[in-house]
């Protein structure tokens, strides 16, 4: 019997223990292990599985059923974030450990747990209804955590294999184990790395200090010019395309059980810092950001070392909202940095992968077109029912702050709209030490998805 | 026969191979080894050697001769800078390697080479004149590279043992192997570490970005407020006590064989960035600085990681000129940072060790008092002669940019003025990868110091 039927938790445990960090090439074996694990599960479910090569990590493509049936595409990713800083983990990030109703490990929630939920639910459906009349295409990529650099190319080349009526995704969040969210929008992303070069090597800051511009000083000068004192981004044109949220979106947000105080406690901050005119809970959904993910240069060790460093760097990402475009914003930020950087040093800005923001209006909500596919209309309705039965309350329809850049690509290239059902919560510590997945959500979600799949036909 | 007489280069080789990095406690054994090596050399020379305990690394105190004789104090330090970044060294930093007339290794020039020069010259003097009628006190500390935190306390307690007529130091630079400098001033130093704290742990920059202030953004905002666009320090009161250089100092500087172009090529910069009104060669001697020696926060590895970091840091040092005071400037910078840091994060500024700037007017130069000790008057004159004979040209009398904070302390507490003869050059890469000591300078300097010591009596 498939491990998906016997013990979904054991399946997740095994999946988590492959250290599939896509950002660091030393984890290549872990990436391969996770990929093979996912393929094996799909084959057990009766999928025909192909690996589509990419310059980095192959994409898993599995299909079952008759192409004339309603066509569902399911998305996931088998790669995970780096585990650093390692010393802040309570247990090894790649040893799955169960504690207090959670399974701890890097990737447990993002995105291995939700994938196991879908697969375990499907395993039950296909056990009970072997000829389940939905054509399903499984799409699991291995470069999501590095911005899916190969995905757009893959999409252009294989878009005929991705035709469908709806995309199902569970790579988004919900406020609590009792209150799920159907995600109606994702922020876009653009990423860049700034490097500032000064002297040809690190210099003694006593012997030479005063003669030349310190690259860290130049970098901080340029970077600090990108926000005003209120935290608004000062890059010219940055906000030009930003669309304010719809009325119904603010109403849905009001249903959120989380209070600002609870949110502050969760983050461990005493002050929020949203842009003027927005609450913190609005800002993370409706506002774009320009964030410094890593800055470094000079001596990083214990004590002091009196050097002028030869170079300094900043890793920057922007989160984007409709109708900002990733390429456009990246170019604008790059230009602003180059203009702000003093000419006494040399600056390089490399634009990395990105993706445009995505928004879907649920069928029937104000602003929807009525031209959605039958499967999409049915799926949104059934999802609401199944979640209410499984979790005790109706889902909230809400945009979220994270990015899955390929969702908008799939919309643009393959015409697929997405039903995104959030299965992780803030307490799962995504991208942070002690990531975990809530086993109560896992159990309820497997039941809800089993009903969802069964009622869809 | 003492290794100092047999082969000063072998002595230096052995001394360099003790990795005596004071900034990092994992090098404790290397620090101990270097200390024992220095003590053994002094004992061979007939010194009575004592170790004065401090909270970190004991100070070596050696004495010889009759206290009624003219009294010379000689200073050095047995600790070295950290070797990072290790990957930029051409050979292991703690394996002494001879290449192209240089001995490579961390500490070869700063300060182990010059110490071996003094000791080797003294070994010849004491071999030829066993009753050499100068009372010599040797003072070698082990915390210079971390700002000599224990030295001031040691000085207050043991100042009676440091009474003398002149301090001899070779821990300063010269422009070339053919043109030595007698250093007439050293910049002071104050050091601090800034830490900015945001959320209780690293956060996903998609899920939470926009709600809170990124500690890196706050840190860069505060740090970039400390200089204006011309590079002048904006900290209120920073320049209040700065004395402009004397006329004779600018005249001596004009004798320097180094051109600005050569200096730019040496540093590997296409543009200098001195404060308005100063050339680069003036700025490093006559102007104070506020320098970022290390800045860090967030993801430092390969690729990207989309986090908002929990904290960020900046390691800052200021170089100070007469009549700035280290404690005063440290407090002013600390206050400016705290005022500039947005209140949506928590900031801590820890002031580390420092020292006031030092200046000595050579006996006979405009501005000198005529009240110098006989030994000091004679030493400055003889030094000029011996250097001219040994190196082919008279030394230039010039302030330099580096700091030896304890020189001003020795002046203040023990009344000692310093004769500082520079034995390293820019090409020696102090505090940088591939540090080395010029063996031609070493050889000539041993001869010159032998003459100097002999003619002093």
**Would an 8 Å CB–CB cutoff place A198 in contact with chain B?**
yes
Judgement on whether residues B342 and B318 belong to the same structural domain of the protein: yes
Q: What is the residue whose two structure tokens read 């320009």? A: A290
Residue A258, pLDDT above cutoff 90: no
**Would an 8 Å CB–CB cutoff place B276 in contact with chain A?**
no
> Nearest 5 degrees, angle CA B268-CA B269-CA B270?
125
Question: Is B293 in contact with A307 (Cβ distance < 8 A)?
Answer: yes
Q: B142 lies in a domain? A: yes
Question: Is B315 in contact with A298 (Cβ distance < 8 A)?
Answer: yes
Task: Provide DSSP, B202-271.
Answer: -EETTTSBTTB--HHHHHHHHHHTTB-TTS-B-STTTTTTPPPPPHHHHHHHHT----HHHHHHHHT-S-
Is B339 within 8 Å of B356 (Cβ atoms)?
Answer: no
Judgement on whether residues B349 and B417 belong to the same structural domain of the protein: no
Cα–Cα distance, A240 to A242 (Å, whole number): 6
Question: Is B273 in contact with A213 (Cβ distance < 8 A)?
Answer: yes
Tens-place pLDDT, residues B359-370? 999 998 887 888
By C-alpha distance, which of A417, A451, A437, A445 is closest to A100? A437
What is the percent of chain B with per-residue pLDDT over 70, rounded to a whole number? 100
Provide the terminal-to-terminal Cα distance of chain B, rounded to the nearest Å.
25
By C-alpha distance, which of B358, B362, B350, B373 is closest to B403? B358
Task: Report the pLDDT value the prediction gives residue B150, as an integer from 0 to 100.
Answer: 93
Task: Name the residue among A198, A296, A430 with its Cβ closest to that of B295.
Answer: A296
Signed CA dihedral, B20, B24, B27, B33: sign only: positive
Judgement on whether residues B17 and B147 belong to the same structural domain of the protein: yes
3-state secondary structure chain A: CCHHHHCHHHHHHHHHCCCCECCCHHHHHHHHHHHHHHHHHHHHCCCEEEEECCCCCCEEEEEECCCCCCEEEEEEECCECCCCCHHHCCCCCCCCEEECCEEECCCHHHHHHHHHHHHHHHHHHHHHCCCCCCEEEEEEECCHHHCCCCHHHHHHHHHHHHCCCEEEECCCECCECCECEEEEEECEEEEEEEEEECCCCCEECCCCECCECCHHHHHHHHHHCCECCCCCECCCCCCCCCCCCCHHHHHHHHCCCCCHHHHHHHHCCCCCCCCCCCCHHHHHHHCCEEEEEEEEEECCCCCCCCEECCEEEEEEEEEECCCCCHHHHHHHHHHHHHHHCCCCCEEEEEEEEEECCEECCCCCCCCCCCCCCHHHHHHHHHHHHHHHHHHCCCCEEEEECCCCHHHHHHHHHHCCCEEEECCECHHHCCCCCCCEEEHHHHHHHHHHHHHHHHHCC
Cα–Cα distance, B374 to B426 (Å, whole number): 33
Question: Is A212 in contact with B267 (Cβ distance < 8 A)?
Answer: yes
A-interface mutation test, from B259, B294, B333, B430, most A Cβ less than 10 A away: B294
Cα–Cα distance, A414 to B125 (Å, whole number): 89
Question: How large is the average pLDDT for residues A177-196?
Answer: 96
Collect all residues of chain A within an 8 Å Cβ-Cβ radius of residue B436.
Answer: none
Give me the residues of B, 98-127, that contact A with CB < 8 A: none
Residue A27, pLDDT above cutoff 90: yes
Task: Report the pLDDT value the prediction gives residue B258, as an integer from 0 to 100.
Answer: 85
Collect all residues of chain A within an 8 Å Cβ-Cβ radius of residue B147.
Answer: 304
Question: A426 pLDDT band (50/70/90 cuts)?
Answer: confident
Is A67 within 8 Å of A81 (Cβ atoms)?
Answer: no
In Å, what is the CA distance from A440 to each residue of A102, A111, A211, A433, B325? 8, 16, 62, 21, 63
ipTM, two decimals, is: 0.84
Q: A281 lies in a domain? A: no
Question: Is A402 in contact with B207 (Cβ distance < 8 A)?
Answer: yes
Collect all residues of chain B within an 8 Å Cβ-Cβ radius of residue A309.
Answer: 293-294
Task: Report the pLDDT value the prediction gives residue B403, as an integer from 0 to 100.
Answer: 87
Task: Report the pLDDT value the prediction gives residue A1, as an integer from 0 to 100.
Answer: 77
Judgement on whether residues A159 and A226 belong to the same structural domain of the protein: no
Question: How large is the average pLDDT for residues A119-143?
Answer: 97
Q: A252 lies in a domain? A: no
Task: Report the pLDDT value the prediction gives residue A443, as an integer from 0 to 100.
Answer: 97
**Within 13 A of B372's CA, how many CA atoms are on the CB side?**
23
Please list the residues that pair with A227 across neighbouring strands.
A233
Task: Report the pLDDT value the prediction gives residue B368, as an integer from 0 to 100.
Answer: 86
> Can you state the percent helix, strand and coil of chain B, rounding each to 5?
35, 25, 40
Task: Name the residue among B209, B302, B315 with its Cβ closest to that of A299.
Answer: B315
Task: Report the pLDDT value the prediction gives residue B355, as an integer from 0 to 100.
Answer: 87
**Would an 8 Å CB–CB cutoff place B232 in contact with chain A?**
no
Say how many CB pairs under 8 Å bridge A and B.
Answer: 349
Task: Report the pLDDT value the prediction gives residue B210, as an integer from 0 to 100.
Answer: 97
Residue A48, pLDDT above cutoff 80: yes
Task: Report the pLDDT value the prediction gives residue B406, as an integer from 0 to 100.
Answer: 87
By C-alpha distance, which of B98, B114, B111, B184 is closest to B142? B111
**φ and ψ at residue B275, rounded to 5 degrees:** -65, 150
Is B263 within 8 Å of A211 (Cβ atoms)?
Answer: yes
Q: B255 lies in a domain? A: no
Task: Report the pLDDT value the prediction gives residue A147, as an integer from 0 to 100.
Answer: 80
pTM (2 d.p.): 0.83
Give A364→chain B minimum CA distance, Å: 27
Collect all residues of chain A within an 8 Å Cβ-Cβ radius of residue B220.
Answer: 219-220, 223-224, 292, 295
**Out of A138-152, A335-349, B333-347, least confident range:** A138-152
Judgement on whether residues B38 and B178 belong to the same structural domain of the protein: yes
Nearest CA in chain A to B174: A207
Collect all residues of chain A within an 8 Å Cβ-Cβ radius of residue B319.
Answer: 205-206, 209-210
Question: How large is the average pLDDT for residues A298-302?
Answer: 92
Give A208→chain B minimum CA distance, Å: 6
> In this structure, what token pair is assigned to residue B172?
């300063």
Judgement on whether residues A113 and A28 belong to the same structural domain of the protein: yes
Cα–Cα distance, A439 to A442 (Å, whole number): 5
Q: To the nearest whole number, what is the mean pLDDT of chain B? A: 95
Instruction: Answer with the one of B354, B372, B403 that is the final residue of a domain.
Output: B354
Is B365 within 8 Å of B227 (Cβ atoms)?
Answer: no
Question: Is A284 in contact with B207 (Cβ distance < 8 A)?
Answer: yes
Task: Report the pLDDT value the prediction gives residue B305, as an integer from 0 to 100.
Answer: 86
**φ and ψ at residue B273, rounded to 5 degrees:** -150, 55
Task: Report the pLDDT value the prediction gives residue B369, as an integer from 0 to 100.
Answer: 85
Task: Report the pLDDT value the prediction gives residue A404, as an integer from 0 to 100.
Answer: 85
Instruction: Answer with the one of B297, B325, B354 that is the final residue of a domain.
Output: B354
**Out of A7-11, A93-97, A262-266, least confident range:** A262-266
Query: Residue A371 is part of a domain; what is its CATH number?
Result: 3.40.630.10
Is B202 within 8 Å of A429 (Cβ atoms)?
Answer: no
Number of domains in chain B: 2
Instruction: Answer with the one of A311, A330, A355 that is the final residue of a domain.
Output: A355
Q: B122 lies in a domain? A: yes
**Would an 8 Å CB–CB cutoff place B147 in contact with chain A?**
yes
**Would an 8 Å CB–CB cutoff place A395 in contact with chain B?**
no
Give me the residues of B, 423-442, that contact A with CB < 8 A: 426, 429-433
Element (H, E) at B168: strand B166-169
Q: B254 lies in a domain? A: no
A-interface mutation test, from B293, B317, B341, B343, most A Cβ less than 10 A away: B293
Task: Report the pLDDT value the prediction gives residue A366, as an integer from 0 to 100.
Answer: 84
Question: Is A284 in contact with B81 (Cβ distance < 8 A)?
Answer: no
Collect all residues of chain B within an 8 Å Cβ-Cβ radius of residue A312.
Answer: 295
Give me the residues of A, 290-329, that contact B with CB < 8 A: 291-309, 312, 315, 317, 319
Nearest CA in chain B to A296: B296
Collect all residues of chain B within an 8 Å Cβ-Cβ radius of residue A212.
Answer: 267, 269, 271-273, 280
Task: Report the pLDDT value the prediction gives residue A221, as an integer from 0 to 100.
Answer: 98
Judgement on whether residues A70 and A147 belong to the same structural domain of the protein: yes
Question: How large is the average pLDDT for residues B227-237?
Answer: 97
Question: How large is the average pLDDT for residues A174-188?
Answer: 94
Structural domain boundaries, residue A299:
188-242+288-355
Nearest CA in chain A to B25: A302
Q: What is the residue whose two structure tokens read 């600390």? A: B334
By C-alpha distance, which of A149, A103, A326, A440 is closest to A93? A103
> In this structure, what token pair is assigned to residue B367?
């501005």
Give B164→chain A minimum CA distance, Å: 28
Give B118→chain A minimum CA distance, Å: 22
Cα–Cα distance, B263 to A5 (Å, whole number): 73
Tens-place pLDDT, residues B411-451? 999 999 999 999 999 899 998 899 999 999 999 999 999 99
Tens-place pLDDT, residues B88-127? 999 999 999 999 999 999 999 999 999 999 999 999 999 9
By C-alpha distance, which of A44, A69, A47 is closest to A60? A47
Tens-place pLDDT, residues A136-160? 999 999 999 988 889 989 999 999 9
Question: A235 pLDDT band (50/70/90 cuts)?
Answer: very high
Judgement on whether residues A429 and A313 belong to the same structural domain of the protein: no
Cα–Cα distance, B213 to B223 (Å, whole number): 16
Task: Report the pLDDT value the prediction gives residue A346, as an integer from 0 to 100.
Answer: 97
Judgement on whether residues B45 and B138 belong to the same structural domain of the protein: yes
Is A52 within 8 Å of A151 (Cβ atoms)?
Answer: no
Question: How large is the average pLDDT for residues A330-351?
Answer: 98
Q: How far does Cα A11 stand from its chain's mean position?
A: 22
Task: Name the residue among A193, A217, A269 with its Cβ closest to that of B199.
Answer: A269
What is the percent of chain B with per-residue pLDDT over 90, rounded to a whole number? 89
Helix B439-455 to helix B8-16 angle, to the nearest 10 degrees? 120
Task: Report the pLDDT value the prediction gives residue A393, as an integer from 0 to 100.
Answer: 94
> In this structure, what token pair is assigned to residue A37?
């694990």
Provide the terminal-to-terminal Cα distance of chain A, rounded to the nearest Å.
25
Question: Is A200 in contact with B229 (Cβ distance < 8 A)?
Answer: no
Give B400→chain A minimum CA distance, Å: 7
Tens-place pLDDT, residues B284-316? 999 999 999 999 999 998 888 899 999 999 999
Question: Is A315 in contact with B307 (Cβ distance < 8 A)?
Answer: no
Cα–Cα distance, B398 to B362 (Å, whole number): 10
Question: How large is the average pLDDT for residues B47-73?
Answer: 97
H helix and E strand count, chain B: 13, 18
Query: Residue A204 is part of a domain; what is its CATH number?
Result: 3.30.70.360
Q: A262 lies in a domain? A: no
Q: B259 lies in a domain? A: no
Judgement on whether residues B321 and B364 belong to the same structural domain of the protein: no
B289-298 and B358-359 beta bridge pairing: unpaired
SS3 state of residue B403: coil
B166-169 and B418-421 beta bridge pairing: parallel
Collect all residues of chain A within an 8 Å Cβ-Cβ radius of residue B227.
Answer: 217, 221
Q: What is the DSSP letter of B21?
A: B
Pick A400 or A103 by higher pLDDT. Answer: A103
Residue B353, pLDDT above cutoff 80: no
SS3 state of residue B322: coil
Task: Name the residue among B214, B229, B305 with its Cβ closest to that of A82.
Answer: B305
Question: How large is the average pLDDT for residues B35-39?
Answer: 98
Is A207 within 8 Å of B284 (Cβ atoms)?
Answer: yes
Task: Report the pLDDT value the prediction gives residue B303, as an integer from 0 to 100.
Answer: 84
Task: Report the pLDDT value the prediction gives residue A195, as an integer from 0 to 100.
Answer: 98
SS3 state of residue B280: helix
Is A51 within 8 Å of A122 (Cβ atoms)?
Answer: no
Judgement on whether residues A181 and A211 belong to the same structural domain of the protein: no
**Would an 8 Å CB–CB cutoff place A55 in contact with chain B?**
no
Judgement on whether residues A305 and A376 belong to the same structural domain of the protein: no
Question: Is A212 in contact with B403 (Cβ distance < 8 A)?
Answer: no
């Amino acid at each position: 019997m498939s491990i998906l039927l016997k013990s979904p938790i054991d399946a997740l445990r095994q999946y988590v223990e492959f250290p599939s960090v896509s950002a660091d090439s030393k984890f290549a074996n872990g990436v391969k292990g996770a990929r093979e694990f996912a393929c094996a599960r799909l084959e057990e479910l009766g999928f025909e599985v192909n690996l589509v090569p990419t310059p980095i990590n192959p994409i898993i493509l599995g299909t079952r059923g008759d192409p004339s049936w309603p066509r569902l595409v399911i998305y996931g990713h088998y790669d995970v974030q780096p585990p650093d800083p390692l010393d802040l983990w309570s247990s090894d990030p790649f040893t799955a450990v169960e504690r207090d109703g959670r399974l701890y490990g890097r990737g447990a929630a993002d995105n291995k747990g939700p994938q196991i939920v879908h697969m375990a639910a499907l395993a039950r459906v296909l056990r009970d209804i072997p000829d389940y009349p939905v054509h399903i295409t499984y799409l699991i990529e291995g470069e999501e955590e590095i911005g899916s650099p190969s995905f757009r190319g893959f999409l252009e080349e294989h878009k005929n294999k991705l035709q469908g009526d709806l995309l199902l995704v569970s790579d988004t969040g919900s406020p609590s184990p009792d209150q799920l969210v159907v995600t109606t929008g994702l922020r876009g992303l653009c990423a860049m790395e700034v490097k500032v070069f000064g002297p040809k090597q690190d210099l003694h800051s006593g012997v030479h200090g005063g003669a030349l511009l310190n690259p860290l000083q130049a970098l901080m000068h340029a970077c600090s010019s990108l926000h005003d004192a209120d935290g608004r981004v000062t890059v010219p044109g940055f906000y030009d395309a930003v669309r304010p949220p719809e009325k119904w979106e603010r109403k849905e947000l009001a249903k959120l059980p989380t209070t600002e105080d609870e949110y502050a406690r969760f983050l461990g901050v005493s002050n929020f810092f949203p842009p003027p005119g927005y609450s913190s809970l609005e800002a993370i959904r409706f506002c774009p950001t320009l964030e410094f993910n890593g800055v470094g240069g000079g001596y990083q060790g214990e004590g002091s070392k009196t050097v002028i460093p030869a170079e300094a760097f900043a890793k920057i990402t922007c989160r984007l909202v409709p109708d900002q475009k990733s390429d456009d914003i990246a170019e604008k930020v790059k230009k602003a940095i180059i203009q702000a950087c003093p000419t006494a040093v040399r600056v390089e800005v490399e634009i990395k992968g990105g993706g445009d923001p995505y928004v879907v209006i649920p069928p029937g909500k104000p602003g929807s077109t009525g031209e959605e596919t039958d499967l999409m209309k049915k799926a949104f309705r059934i999802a609401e029912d199944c979640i209410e039965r499984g979790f005790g309350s109706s889902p909230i329809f809400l945009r979220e702050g994270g990015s899955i850049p390929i969702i908008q690509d799939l919309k643009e290239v393959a015409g697929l709209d997405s039903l995104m059902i959030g299965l992780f919560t803030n307490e799962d510590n995504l991208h942070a030490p002690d990531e975990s997945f809530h086993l109560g959500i896992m159990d309820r979600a497997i039941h809800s998805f089993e009903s969802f799949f069964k009622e869809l036909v």
